[in-house]
Chains A and B, each alone.
Chain A
């Protein structure tokens, strides 16, 4: 029998919002992107998403079990990690590698740091970076979008035996718009196609339009800090614009930079991961600007065609330092008596 008076600290009312609701909203916002990915790349993309999501959820459960914590799969965050990981991988990525990456994403990226909210790095991108470094070839093999038989068959590399080299998919491979620009000396994709998204690339990064719409939905539902995408995209556009003005022949236009590759997906869904970004508004501006800047620098001057993944991870790494300098302005510190 419990006492009938209850003691509790103030405040005694609360806003009706919860972590689960936020995460569910993000999953909801990701669904159209996933659907488009399946439409574009077919069954392979579907299998990829299923694999990463399942592995992420199972890994999360496993680690909760091991460390004796209550199950946290109900909060959907592992689902997000799984989906986003799949969306950043090439559609023909072998499933066993995807599973390894998903395991690393949750185990190394999240569970070992203490779980939801404590991960200093974006788990999905950590998994993606692991994949890129462990299986660099598979992670940079892109297939064409809209292959006619995509709904009836899987790409041959998808089903590679665990630990084995995937079958060559040379027949379907192609260069992404970014790689074309970087290694083949020119932009061959027009901006509208980039914007709408029937281009080769990672499973979920291609349609800037769709990502934009879904991202705005997230912002509208207060599930994401609007400053993140604004800062990342703004800074990327400014940096790219600067170089473009310097040498329009050599550097692509800012629009190409914004709509190609994973910049959009990164800015809206991955840089915005709350655990690995600053909490203060000023910090977020700096963080976003850093990411946008680094992404463009790596794209333009680095050895790789795409830099958003590394830019976000580096941004994550800088978060503690950023927060050191970007605390909110304290009431009563500056303004004194006005009269």
Chain B
């Protein structure tokens, strides 16, 4: 099986996983809208939580995977890790867009403003910008070996930075009295709401896996084409 065929196979499998996840998402939608009770104090807008939190989790998972793979690439120098890290970063950025749109839509009705500098929202924003920078750096480097090494360095730095950003933003946040009455988590979720949330978490994780498999396969296919175009190798 050539590298190309293996990549196409991964892509097919990834496509299947993605379809399963999308069906799962539809199920979550139906369950959240029709079969989960409306929260008394926050109203239907509270249901955004069942979509926003899992997507935020998948986004952060994607970025963490990129960071770990970057570390692996720097130690093992295997291009597979570089291509996977890049795939995970792109998927994370795409999911991040959904995260950063649903977040404020949830904050507005619940907390009164589209953007409150809540620790979690802010640190996810900075993490998102960090990995947009990662993709921008990759785009600016044509030699694939330099691109792999430099993005791995940035990936590792980003991995270590995220906890720092969270602590900084959290300390910054709690020192100012919270202007809003209700805390997002509210009382611990009743069982039916919790299961909706958990299913959504699983679905979003599966979705991430399906998308990253496809994007990784695409990265390999692009690399194979580049190699063919470069002409003959060495004896």
Answer yes or no: are A and B bound together in one complex: no
Which A residues are closer than 8 A to B by beta carbons? none
Which B residues are closer than 8 A to A by beta carbons? none
